[in-house]
Structure 1
Amino acid sequence: MYNVFLVEDEKNLNDILVFYLENEGYKVKSFVCGLDAEKYVQQEPHLWILDIMLPDMDGYELINRIKKQNQDTPVIFISARDEELDRVIGLQMGSDDYIAKPFLPMELIIRTRNLLTRIYKNKKNSKVTNLLINDTYTIDFNKRMVFKGDEKIDVTSKEFDFLSIIINNKNNALSREDIINKIYGEDYFGSDRTIDDLVRRVRKKLPEMRIETIYGYGYRWCEGED
């Protein structure tokens, strides 16, 4: 059973979402303010669902606390503000999905189901535990962590998803659309520039890992090639 923590200050909406999530079979703990939710960060649920606009602590501040506790904990952001701006900021801070108000409760359920399946199914099905890349970086697929020697490199959940995809498709060209579908799901309607930003961040954090740009198409990883 998946543990889901929901933070939504609109009490009526909070109650409705709890009902739908529990009906899906999840164990749900809900909060109407960020300070109360912050006290439970160390419990590390399988998923946080966060409203960005909260009366005492906004979702941006709360996701910082969550990711500091465990970088790999997935987060879905909810917002009624500027959708494109919040989407970009949320992704940069490590959110795994975004849903704008107003929305149907079943849309959140579908996104939640897809995200949990994608993340935790990948963990269970990982055949390779550790992989050394370019004699430099160690990729731990079970823990979803990246190391350079003994030093841990902080990567977001989406950045790790991207690394997993290109590693598992070594030497193969992947289109931006392919990458988006694998990371965000086929129901994603955002710009493919999201992938360009994701690649930029990965390149900055792992400069010795060659990720080749295929202009007008997408990306490819070629280990050990000049």
Structure 2
Amino acid sequence: METYNIYLVEDEANLSEVLKAYLQKEGWNVTVFLDGNAAIEAVPDKPHLWVLDIMLPGTDGYQVLKAIKEQEDTPVIFISARDQDLDRVLGLEMGSDDYLAKPFLPQELIIRVKKLLNRVYGTSSAESQKIELNNYSIDPIGRTIVDLEANNDTVDLTTKEMDLMLLLSADIGKAFSREKIIEHVWGENYFGSERAVDDVVRRVRKKMPRIHLETLYGYGYRILSS
């Protein structure tokens, strides 16, 4: 699989290190910029992808995006914690290829990056992004799960069941709190009971009995490899 060069522009040092670690885990080369001026100076490098925060000290993300699009047609993912609708519209009008609102899970960024790289360059095999777990084949791009022990039948999951499985299976062994699962699967504006998570987990266990979906009492869930 090709090694992509990704330039990440994020002024929050702790967040940039976390995102860098997740991106590097996928085998990509990642360079971090903490301000817009440094990023603009690096535009001639022509990386494969920019992940660009809008709110930056001094030169903001819009100016960086303008500089990128003036010199090259490199794909850009905008990230922002500001007015989501306004930033999304302005970013797309200026040429960004995708938009991710803060706060987000690092794995959500990984999925967006994979989709964009595959769409733009077409060299990242969808097969290489599939996860095989207990004889289930999980395709995060196509959002399908196939049971390899049952004639390759597709496992029929609801949207929320699929979202839960993609979240947990993307980071085997990592524990996710109910709060984080709610945020990812239902969204930040959900005001219902966290027990909704338990109900979705119960249904997934019934439909995918070989998956070791472990309960961490008083906290949340995780998927183990065996």
How does the TM-score come out when normalised to structure 1?
Answer: 0.53
Q: What runs of 5+ residues in structure 2 fail to find an aligned partner?
A: 125-226
Residue in 2 that maps onto 1:65:
67
Tell me whether 1:25 sits opposite 2:27 in the alignment: yes
- Once residues 37 and 102 of structure 1 are traced to their aligned partners in structure 2, the CA distance between those partners, rounded to angstroms, is 22
Residue in 2 that maps onto 1:16:
18
In the TM superposition, residue 39 of structure 1 has moved relative to its aligned partner by 1.0
Change (3 A) 1:122 1:27: closer
Identity of aligned residues (%): 60
Q: What is the identity, as a one-letter code, of the residue corresponding to 2:84? A: E
Report the secondary structure of 2:122's partner residue: helix
In the TM superposition, residue 15 of structure 1 has moved relative to its aligned partner by 0.2
- Once residues 70 and 95 of structure 2 are traced to their aligned partners in structure 1, the CA distance between those partners, rounded to angstroms, is 11
In the TM superposition, residue 50 of structure 1 has moved relative to its aligned partner by 0.4
Residue in 1 that maps onto 2:98:
97
Report the secondary structure of 1:4's partner residue: strand
Q: What is the identity, as a one-letter code, of the residue corresponding to 1:19? A: A
Tell me whether 1:42 sits opposite 2:44 in the alignment: yes
Q: How many residues align?
A: 123
Residues 163-202 of structure 1: per-residue CA shift (max 9 Å, x gap): xxxxxxxxxxxxxxxxxxxxxxxxxxxxxxxxxxxxxxxx
Q: What runs of 5+ residues in structure 1 fail to find an aligned partner?
A: 124-226
- Once residues 65 and 37 of structure 1 are traced to their aligned partners in structure 2, the CA distance between those partners, rounded to angstroms, is 9
- Once residues 39 and 58 of structure 1 are traced to their aligned partners in structure 2, the CA distance between those partners, rounded to angstroms, is 14
Residues 16-74 of structure 1: per-residue CA shift (max 9 Å, x gap): 0000000011100001111111111000100000000001111000000000111x210
- Which deviates more, 41-50 or 114-123? 114-123
In the TM superposition, residue 122 of structure 1 has moved relative to its aligned partner by 7.8
Residue in 2 that maps onto 1:113:
114
- Once residues 41 and 82 of structure 1 are traced to their aligned partners in structure 2, the CA distance between those partners, rounded to angstroms, is 26
Report the secondary structure of 2:107's partner residue: helix
- Once residues 57 and 21 of structure 1 are traced to their aligned partners in structure 2, the CA distance between those partners, rounded to angstroms, is 25
- Once residues 109 and 100 of structure 1 are traced to their aligned partners in structure 2, the CA distance between those partners, rounded to angstroms, is 14
Q: What is the identity, as a one-letter code, of the residue corresponding to 2:37? A: L
RMSD between aligned residues: 1.6
Residue in 1 that maps onto 2:77:
76
Residue in 2 that maps onto 1:51:
53
Structure 1 segments (4+ residues) deviating >2 Å: none
Greater Rg by CA: 2
Residue in 1 that maps onto 2:185:
none
Change (3 A) 1:22 1:122: closer
- Once residues 82 and 64 of structure 1 are traced to their aligned partners in structure 2, the CA distance between those partners, rounded to angstroms, is 20
- Once residues 68 and 13 of structure 2 are traced to their aligned partners in structure 1, the CA distance between those partners, rounded to angstroms, is 23
- Once residues 36 and 90 of structure 1 are traced to their aligned partners in structure 2, the CA distance between those partners, rounded to angstroms, is 20
- Once residues 69 and 40 of structure 2 are traced to their aligned partners in structure 1, the CA distance between those partners, rounded to angstroms, is 12
How does the TM-score come out when normalised to structure 2?
Answer: 0.53
Instruction: Give runs of aligned pairs for residues 60-209 of structure 1, distance below 5 A.
Output: 60-70=62-72, 72-121=73-122
Report the secondary structure of 1:68's partner residue: helix
Residue in 1 that maps onto 2:9:
7
Report the secondary structure of 1:56's partner residue: coil
